[in-house]
C-alpha cells in the first residue's frame, strides 16, 4: 500500500479541488497520466481531496473503459475492430500485431511496456484500418504492420460544395487564417432574440442524429429562468462510422468556437464546455491552442469562457444527459426526460447542447442571413450536410453536399464501389442507423425523403459493403458494439443488448436455434419501444432493418412461428410454483423466518460468468 | 387543480402533479413495478411499468410520467404486454428469481417463459458473506438500484456502495471490492429492507436457511462476543 508515491498527485490535485465533484474525471485523467493506471491509494486520495465518496469514485472508474484499476502497459495500441476497419482487415491486423508482441488482445506484456486492446470505432474510418498508438492516430495500416502514417490523421475532404468544410483539408486553420469572428460581431450588434429568430428562420436542425430544431432549443434555454446558463458542444463523436466532427475540430476549430460564442450570446450563457471523446487525444492540443487564440483576440474571457472536458471511453456519453452527468463527475447514466436540458441541463441549469456540425452552421447563418443560407438545400431541409463515406468505395472521405443530393450521386462522387464490384448494401446513419440496398440509391437525402424511405440520417454515416461482404459479420459487430456500450441503467437495453449480441453471434456462426428470429425481433422491438434513452431505442435499428431486408440470413423461415403469443394462457413453464405462493403468503403475513425454510433453487444455469471482471 | 384524462378508455380525474402509477393505484388499475419503491427516487429504469400514451413515440414509464388533461393512456395494450413480457423473460434468463415471488407472479400473468432465451449468459457472481449483519448474493440482484439509493441521498448518506462495470456486467460493488466492514457502511440495514429479491439478506435468515438452528446461531454470536 505504501509503495505508491502520492506527492506528484498532490501537486496536481489542487487545481481540481475548486471544481468539486465535477473535477473527478479531469483528476482521474491527470492521475492516470502520472501513474499509468489508477491504484486504490490514488483513487482514495482523489476521493478525499474532491470530497467524493470512495464508492462513487470506484463507480466512475468502473464505468469508463479508458480508466484502469489495474496495471496496464506504459504504451498502448488500440486497434479499431469496428465495422469500417473490419472491412479493411482489422481482425488480421490485430492478430499479427498481437503475435508480433506476444500478447493477447486486452493483455499487457510482462514487463508492462505495452498493452494491446480492441477499440470501438476510433472515428478514422476513411483511413481504415486504423489504430491509436498512445495519443497518435495510426491510419491506413498495412496487414504486416510495416507502413503507416503516425501522428495527427489527415483530413480527406470531398464534396460538391464547401460551406462547412471551406477551411478543411489543409491542416489546422489558425485564427489568423480564419479571420476575425465576423459573424459573432454581427450577432453582438443585434438583440439576442433576433439571433434566435435568425437561427429559427434558417431551419437549422441538429446534426448529431436527433434532428431537433436548433432555434427552438435555443429559445427554450433563453426563456428559461436562471442566471447561470451553459452552452455545451457535443464532440463525443462515437457513432461507428462517423468522423466528421474530428475533421471539423482539427481543421477549423474556430468555426465551432464562434458558433458557441454566438449561442452563448443568444441564450445568455457565461460558460461553455466542449466535451470531446478520449479517442481523439490529438485534437485536444489543437482545441486548446484555438481557445487561447480566441481569448487573446478578446472573443473569449470577458463574458464567456470555454472549458474542454475529455470523455473516457463511453459511447453513451454522446447522449446529452449522460454527457452532463459525465461533466458533473458521475457515471454516464442518461437521465429521464422531461425535464429537458433547456430548463434543467448541466448542473441542473438551463443548457443548450449542440453537436459540432450544428454549431459550425451557426456562423454561416449569421453572416449570410437565414434567407441566403436557405438557398442551399431543399425547402424542408436547408443547408449542406456532411457525410462520412467509408468501406468499399474508391474514395472514402468526408463529403459535403447540399441536402437533396441522391445517394447515387454521393456514391458516384466517391468513385463508386471499389474493385469494380457491385453494391450489396450501405449501413446508413451509423450503428444506430439502418441498412440500405441498391434500391435506395435514388433516394434524395433530405430529412423528409429519408424518413419516408425508412432510413435514419443519424450522424451522416454511409458505410459501403460490396457484393462479397458478409452482412452477418456486420451484424455480429453491431451486436457486440451495443452490448459493450450499454450503460446498464434500464432493463430493456441492459439485458436486450446482451441477448441481441448472443443471438447475432449464433446467426454469424451458423448455429441459430429454433425461434431465434422471433427472439431477436422481440428483443429489438422491446428495446426500441421501452428503453430509457436513444441508445437503447436505436440499438436494434440496423438489426431490425436487416431482418426485413434479408430474413433468410437469420437461418429460419419466419412464417411458422407465433408472432403474437397469447398472454392469457400461461405457458407451461411459467406456472407459479406452490412454494412461491407459500412464500408470498408468508411475506404478507409474517416476518418471522421459519426454521429450515430452504427455498427451492431452480438452477437452470447454463454458463458461469464472472461479472466482476471489468469489460474491456 | 385536477386533471381529467382517459385510462383504458375510462375517464379519470386526479390531482395535478400525480404520476400515472399513483393514479392507477388509486383507481384500482394494476400497473406492475419492479424498481419503484415509495421510499426511493423513481428512476424509471426497470420499464416494467411502461404504458402506451397516445401521441408519444415510445412507451412511457408510469412511475414518473405525470397525468395531463385529455391524455389517453392504455395500461394493457398489446404493445405494453409485449414489452413487459419480454423484459420479464430477459430477467428470468439473467438472474435467479427464486426469491422474487412477485416477479414470478408477473411472469405467470404475462405468459412469460423462463426458458425463452436458451444458452443465455447469466449473472452468477459468488456470494459475499463478509460481515456479521447481512449477506450479498448478487446472482439474485436485478439492479433496481434501491440499495445504492438508500445508502446515498435517498436515506442514509453513507455512500458505501456503488456500481461495478457497466451494461450487462453492471453489479453493485464497494470501493475496489473492499469488504463491507472496510467501507463506510454503518450496518443500518436499509439496503436489506428495500431489496426485492433476497439478494441482500439478514445473516440470521441466511444461516437459518443453511440449516443452522436458532441455538447454533446464538452460539456463533456468543462465541464472537467472547473473543472480543
Read off φ and ψ for residue A565, nearest 5 degrees. -60, 135
How many CB atoms sit inside 10 A of residue A516's CB? 20
Using a 10 angstrom Cβ sphere, with 0-12 exposed, 13-18 middle and 19 or more buried, the burial of residue B63 is buried
Mean pLDDT of A307-326: 98
pLDDT of residue B220: 79
Q: A258 or A608: which carries more pLDDT confidence?
A: A258
Tell me how crowded residue B77 is: count the other CB atoms within 10 A of its CB. Answer: 14
**HSE-up of A268 (CA within 13 Å, CB side)?**
16
Identify which of A59, A494, A522 has the shortest CB distance to residue B162.
A59
d(CA B21, CA A571): 28
- The CA distance from A355 to the nearest CA of chain B, in Å, is 23
Residue A118 DSSP code: E
Instruction: Report the DSSP beta bridge partners of residue B63.
Output: none
Q: Nearest-CA distance from A491 to chain B in Å?
A: 5
Rounded mean pLDDT, A33-39: 96
Task: Say if residue A302 is exposed, middle or buried (CB neighbours under 10 Å; 0-12, 13-18, 19+).
Answer: exposed
Q: Which three cell numbers stand for residue A610?
A: 464472472
Q: Chain B residue with minimal CA distance to A70? A: B176
Q: State the pLDDT confidence band at A512, using cuts at 50, 70 and 90.
A: very high
Average pLDDT of the residues in A9-22: 96
C-beta atoms of A331 and B166 within 8 A: yes
Nearest-CA distance A502 → chain B (Å): 7
CA A297 to chain centre: 33
* C-alpha cell of residue A342: 433547456
Distance of alpha carbon A601 from alpha carbon A603, whole angstroms = 6
For residue A469 the three cell numbers come to 461482404
- From the number of C-beta atoms within 10 Å of its C-beta (0-12, 13-18, 19+), residue A606 rates as middle
How far apart (Å, rounded) are the C-alpha atoms in residues A327 and A23? 8
A37, A55, A487, A561: best to mutate for the B interface, most B CBs within 10 A: A55
Contact A535, A334 (CB under 8 A): yes
3-state secondary structure of A314: coil
* Closest by Cα among A141, A160, A121 to A398: A160
Say which CATH architecture domain B134-227 belongs to.
2-Layer Sandwich (3.30)
Compute the Cα dihedral for A440, A443, A445, A450 and give only its sign.
negative
Domain ranges of chain B: 2-79, 134-227
Strand partners, A419: none
Of A583, A596, A606, the CB nearest to B211: A596
Segment holding A261, helix H or strand E: helix A253-267
Cα(first)–Cα(last) distance of chain A, in Å? 25
**Beta strands A423-428 and B10-15, pairing class:** unpaired
Compute how many other C-beta atoms are within 10 angstroms of the C-beta atom of residue A138.
Answer: 24
CA dist., res. A452 & res. A456, Å (int): 10
Q: What is the DSSP string of B105-127?
A: HHHHHTT--TTSSTT-----PPP
Length of chain B measured in residues: 228
Contact A247, A164 (CB under 8 A): no
Task: Look at A583 and B101 and tell me if their CB atoms are within 8 Å.
Answer: yes
The shortest C-alpha distance from B10 to chain A (Å) reads 22
Q: Which three cell numbers stand for residue A602?
A: 431452480
Most B-contacting residue of A494, A596, A608, A613 (CB-CB within 10 A), to test interface: A494
Provide the 10 A C-beta neighbour count for residue B128. 17
Cell numbers 434501491 correspond to what residue? B146
Of A599-608, B94-103, B129-138, B167-176, the one with minimum mean pLDDT is A599-608
Q: Which residues pair with A377 in a beta bridge?
A: A382
Beta strands A230-235 and A351-355: pairing type?
parallel
Q: How many residue pairs bridge chain A and chain B with CB atoms within 8 Å of each other?
A: 262
**Those residues with Cβ within 8 angstroms of residue A48's Cβ, 6 or more apart along the chain or in another chain:** none
pLDDT at A3: 82
Q: Is the peptide bond before A298 cis (omega within 30 degrees of 0)?
A: no
Distances (CA, A) of B135 to B124, B128, B206: 15, 6, 7
Residue A488 confidence (pLDDT): 97
Class of domain B2-79: alpha beta
Place of cell 467509408: A390
When computed from its CA atoms, the radius of gyration of chain A, rounded to whole angstroms, is 25
What's the pLDDT band for A575 if we cut at 50, 70, 90? very low
Cβ separation of A530 and B119 shorter than 8 Å?
no
Q: What is the pLDDT of residues B103-148, one digit of tens each?
A: 999 999 999 999 999 999 999 999 999 999 999 999 999 999 999 9
Question: What SS3 state is found at A464?
Answer: strand
| Per-residue CA distances from A94 to A88, A105, A116, B166 (Å) | 12, 8, 9, 25
- The residue assigned the cell 430548463 is A343
Query: ipTM for the complex?
Result: 0.95
Say which residues have a Cβ less than 8 Å from residue A132's Cβ, sequence separation at least 6: A76, A77, A78, A80, A119, A122, A138, A279, A281
Q: pLDDT, tens digit, for every residue of A360-410?
A: 999 999 999 999 999 999 999 999 999 999 999 999 999 999 999 999 999
Inform me whether the pLDDT recorded for A607 exceeds 70.
Answer: no
For B1-27, how does the pLDDT look when each residue is reduced to its tens digit (9 = 90+)?
899 999 999 999 999 999 999 999 999
Per residue in A263-286, pLDDT (tens digit) is: 999 999 999 999 999 999 999 999
Q: Could you give all domains of chain A from N- to C-terminal order, each with its CATH number?
A: 7-63 (no CATH), 75-151 (3.40.30.10), 158-373 (3.40.50.11540), 384-469 (3.10.20.600), 472-554 (1.20.1440.230)
- Residue A431: what are its φ and ψ, rounded to 5°? -60, -30
Q: Is the pLDDT of residue A100 over 70?
A: yes
Query: Which has the closest alpha carbon to A582: B196, B105, B206?
Result: B105
Q: Are B87 and A492 inside 8 Å of each other by CB?
A: yes
Amino acid at each position: 500500500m505504501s509503495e505508491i508515491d502520492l506527492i506528484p498527485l498532490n501537486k496536481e490535485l489542487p487545481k481540481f479541488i475548486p471544481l468539486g465533484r465535477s473535477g473527478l474525471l479531469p483528476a482521474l485523467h491527470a492521475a492516470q497520466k502520472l501513474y499509468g493506471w489508477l491504484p486504490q491509494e490514488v483513487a482514495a486520495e482523489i476521493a478525499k481531496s474532491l470530497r467524493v465518496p470512495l464508492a462513487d469514485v470506484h463507480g466512475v472508474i468502473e464505468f469508463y473503459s479508458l480508466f484502469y484499476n489495474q496495471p496496464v502497459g506504459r504504451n498502448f495500441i488500440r486497434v479499431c475492430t469496428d465495422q469500417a476497419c473490419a472491412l479493411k482487415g482489422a481482425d488480421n491486423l490485430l492478430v499479427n500485431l498481437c503475435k508480433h508482441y506476444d500478447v493477447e488482445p486486452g493483455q499487457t506484456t510482462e514487463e508492462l511496456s505495452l498493452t494491446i486492446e480492441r477499440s470501438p470505432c476510433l472515428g478514422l474510418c476513411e483511413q481504415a484500418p486504423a489504430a491509436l498508438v498512445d495519443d497518435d492516430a495510426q491510419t491506413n495500416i498495412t496487414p504486416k504492420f510495416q507502413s503507416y502514417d503516425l501522428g495527427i490523421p489527415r483530413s480527406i475532404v470531398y464534396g460538391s460544395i464547401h460551406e462547412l468544410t471551406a477551411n478543411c483539408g489543409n491542416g489546422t486553420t489558425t485564427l489568423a487564417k480564419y479571420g476575425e469572428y465576423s459573424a459573432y460581431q454581427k450577432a453582438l450588434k443585434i438583440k439576442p432574440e433576433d439571433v434566435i429568430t435568425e437561427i429559427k428562420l434558417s431551419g437549422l436542425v441538429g446534426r448529431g442524429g436527433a434532428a431537433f430544431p436548433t432555434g427552438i432549443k435555443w429559445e427554450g434555454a433563453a426563456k428559461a429562468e436562471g442566471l447561470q446558463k451553459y452552452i455545451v458542444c457535443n464532440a463525443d463523436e462515437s457513432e461507428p462510422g462517423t468522423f466528421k466532427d474530428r475533421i471539423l475540430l482539427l481543421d477549423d476549430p474556430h468555426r465551432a468556437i464562434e458558433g458557441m460564442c454566438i449561442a452563448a450570446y443568444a441564450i445568455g450563457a457565461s460558460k461553455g464546455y466542449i466535451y470531446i471523446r478520449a479517442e481523439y487525444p490529438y485534437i485536444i492540443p489543437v482545441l486548446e491552442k484555438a481557445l487561447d487564440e480566441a481569448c487573446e483576440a478578446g472573443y473569449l474571457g470577458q463574458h464567456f469562457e470555454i472549458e474542454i472536458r475529455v470523455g473516457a471511453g463511453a459511447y453513451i456519453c454522446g447522449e446529452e444527459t449522460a454527457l452532463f452527468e459525465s461533466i458533473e463527475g458521475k457515471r454516464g447514466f442518461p437521465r429521464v426526460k422531461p425535464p429537458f436540458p433547456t430548463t434543467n441541463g448541466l448542473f441542473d441549469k438551463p443548457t443548450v447542447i449542440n453537436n459540432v456540425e450544428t454549431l459550425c452552421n451557426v456562423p454561416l447563418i449569421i453572416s449570410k442571413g437565414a434567407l441566403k443560407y436557405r438557398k442551399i438545400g431543399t425547402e424542408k431541409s436547408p443547408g449542406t450536410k456532411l457525410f462520412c463515406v467509408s468501406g468499399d468505395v474508391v474514395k472514402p472521405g468526408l463529403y459535403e453536399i447540399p441536402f437533396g443530393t441522391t445517394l447515387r450521386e454521393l456514391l458516384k462522387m466517391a468513385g463508386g464501389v471499389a474493385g469494380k464490384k457491385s453494391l450489396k448494401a450501405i449501413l446508413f446513419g451509423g450503428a444506430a442507423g439502418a441498412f440500405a440496398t441498391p434500391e435506395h440509391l435514388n433516394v434524395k437525402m433530405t430529412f423528409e425523403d429519408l424518413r419516408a424511405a425508412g432510413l435514419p440520417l443519424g450522424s451522416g454515416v454511409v458505410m459501403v459493403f460490396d457484393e462479397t461482404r458478409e452482412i452477418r459479420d456486420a451484424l455480429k459487430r453491431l451486436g457486440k458494439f451495443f452490448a459493450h456500450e450499454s450503460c446498464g441503467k434500464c432493463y430493456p437495453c441492459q439485458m436486450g443488448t446482451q441477448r441481441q449480441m448472443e443471438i447475432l453471434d449464433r446467426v454469424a456462426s451458423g448455429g441459430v436455434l429454433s425461434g431465434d428470429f422471433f427472439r431477436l425481433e422481440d428483443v429489438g422491438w422491446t428495446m426500441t419501444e421501452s428503453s430509457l434513452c436513444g441508445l437503447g431505442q436505436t440499438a436494434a435499428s440496423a438489426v431490425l432493418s436487416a431482418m426485413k431486408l434479408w430474413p433468410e440470413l437469420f437461418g429460419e423461415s419466419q412464417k411458422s412461428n407465433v408472432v403474437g403469443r397469447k398472454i392469457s394462457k400461461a405457458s407451461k413453464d411459467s406456472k407459479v410454483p406452490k412454494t412461491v405462493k407459500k412464500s408470498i403468503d408468508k411475506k404478507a403475513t409474517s416476518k418471522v423466518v421459519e426454521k429450515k425454510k430452504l427455498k427451492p433453487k431452480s438452477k437452470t444455469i447454463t454458463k458461469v460468468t464472472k461479472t466482476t471482471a471489468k469489460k474491456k | 387543480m385536477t386533471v381529467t384524462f382517459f385510462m383504458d378508455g375510462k375517464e379519470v380525474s386526479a390531482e395535478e402533479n400525480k404520476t400515472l402509477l399513483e393514479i392507477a393505484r388509486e383507481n384500482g388499475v394494476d400497473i406492475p413495478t419492479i424498481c419503484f419503491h415509495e421510499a426511493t427516487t423513481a428512476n424509471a429504469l426497470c420499464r416494467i411499468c411502461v404504458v402506451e400514451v397516445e401521441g408519444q413515440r415510445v412507451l412511457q414509464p408510469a412511475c414518473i410520467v405525470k397525468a395531463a388533461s385529455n391524455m389517453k393512456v392504455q395500461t394493457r395494450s398489446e404493445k405494453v404486454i409485449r414489452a413487459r413480457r419480454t423484459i420479464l423473460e430477459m430477467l428470468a434468463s439473467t438472474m435467479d428469481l427464486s426469491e422474487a415471488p412477485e416477479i414470478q407472479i408477473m411472469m405467470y400473468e404475462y405468459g412469460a417463459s423462463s426458458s425463452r432465451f436458451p444458452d443465455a449468459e447469466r449473472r452468477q457472481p459468488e456470494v459475499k458473506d463478509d460481515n456479521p449483519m447481512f449477506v450479498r448474493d448478487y446472482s439474485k440482484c436485478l439492479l433496481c438500484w434501491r440499495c445504492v439509493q438508500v445508502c446515498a441521498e435517498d436515506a442514509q448518506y453513507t455512500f458505501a456502495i456503488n456500481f461495478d462495470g457497466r451494461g450487462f456486467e453492471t453489479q453493485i460493488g464497494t470501493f475496489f471490492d473492499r469488504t463491507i466492514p472496510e467501507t463506510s457502511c454503518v450496518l443500518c440495514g436499509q439496503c436489506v429492507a428495500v431489496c426485492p429479491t433476497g439478494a441482500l439478506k439478514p445473516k440470521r435468515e441466511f444461516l437459518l436457511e443453511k440449516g443452522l438452528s436458532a441455538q447454533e446461531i446464538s452460539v456463533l454470536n456468543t462465541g464472537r462476543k467472547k473473543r472480543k
